[in-house]
A = this chain, B = another copy of it.
């Protein structure tokens, strides 16, 4: 992030860093579109009523007011004010309901946009950042095969980012119904509360979570221990998952004929399908992890978090789940499943931990030198001829001493400096020469046919080893 950024939590990249972010965005878009996702953009604002309704961040909203209304803000109830969206899922749900007549369902969409969280400024927390989301929304129903396909699309997208220094990513999947069924089977009632405490396991550890389950969710010590045992359960495949889960139910007296058990089984079967199917397609990419809870209250089935090898301090970099009740209109429901990459944090990791670097700041491959301001037209002419052939070219800002012009190219990382022949612009520039200022090699060049070496042709991003 650019140093001295004057507003905490609003990161801003320097030009060379922005190249990395832009490349990441282009790569994700490419993967999403190869997989048939349709790109949309939603407005940055939603009605307060819509923002307040859903999601973990309902307390972290930026509300807007017109300069003219300063001092009278309180006259308008928060529900009727506009606020900046805090994620891309709530806006998508609203978009789908609003435009349902114009969409083909299931509606597969990608969306890469900024979101805002009206948090108190604090170290390391972004209040503005970019999210990259994919979701599928059904009209009435939504087949569960999307619950394995979407995390796999994200895995293949994250795989593509490894060339920019991202470690291997693994999606950890769970299912809300499985957890809820088990908790209910134990006799617990505050399901939201239990999920919220379990979500803290990685942060505060099992002892603290046990205490909170007892003090905040009315659990007995035994119930709390059972919740932790479930969170601890792991399995190599769907069959082992079912076996171990049944053993746990038996150990805690949860009857197989109960409604609670049925609910848990619904979730378990989806989870088993996900891990088995994913293992077949991309072994090791998606695993069952029964402590994944997700803070957001709108998930109703599968939930996902994604962790990077050796970067667990980053937390989940790509999360999501299935939400059956987020979007509805009258009797109509639009169930969805989706995942969201926290892009800004990911780019920050690539830049500052993994050492991702742009090959150059400027998109230009060539800087055309200017001998004299009178000859600027000649240099412009050459640059335009290169651009017409798809080669990005810039022209020296002033007819300064050659060393200064080369220094300008060097500062921008532009690999080639073009020297126009001293003839006038109407000749065919037959005396032109081009110098690679990185290798020092200088050669005669014809603007109609010259090509940069492949390695210097494009701005690229790689990892500084």
Contact = CB atoms under 8 A, between A and B. Distances in A.
A15 B43 contact: no
Contacts of A456: none
Contact of A281 (B373, B380, B397): B380
Interface string A1-12: 011111100111
Contact of A7 (B2, B45, B66, B411): B45
Interface in A32-51: 33-45, 47
Interface string A294-305: 000000000000
Interface in A12-31: 12-15, 18-19, 21-22
A173 B248 CA distance: 78
A128 B4 contact: no
A349 interface: no
A289 interface: no
B36 A363 contact: yes
B70 A74 contact: yes
A387 B35 contact: yes
A70 B67 contact: no
A87 to B, nearest CB: 15
A433 to B, nearest CB: 20
Interface stretch (A95-103, A163-171, A183-191, A215-223): A95-103
Contacts of A67: 59-63, 78, 83, 118
Contact of A104 (B34, B103, B361): B361
Interface in A63-89: 63-68, 70-71, 73-74, 78, 82-84
Contacts of A361: 38, 104
A403 interface: no
A65 B63 contact: yes
Contacts of A277: 377
A104 B411 contact: yes
A428 B363 CA distance: 43
A418 interface: no
A387 B40 CA distance: 21
Nearest to A2: B99
Contacts of A416: none
A299 B39 CA distance: 37
Contacts of A132: none
A362 B36 contact: yes
B36 A4 contact: no
A439 to B, nearest CB: 21
Interface stretch (A106-114, A206-214, A233-241, A256-264): A106-114
A412 interface: yes
B99 A34 contact: no
Given A398-B143, A408-B104, A45 B82 contact: no
Nearest to A367: B36
Nearest to A50: B6
Interface stretch (A224-232, A388-396, A444-452): A388-396
Given A15-B39, A106-B397, A281-B380, 11 more contacts: A3-B102, A13-B40, A33-B392, A35-B394, A36-B363, A36-B393, A71-B73, A73-B74, A143-B397, A143-B398, A280-B377
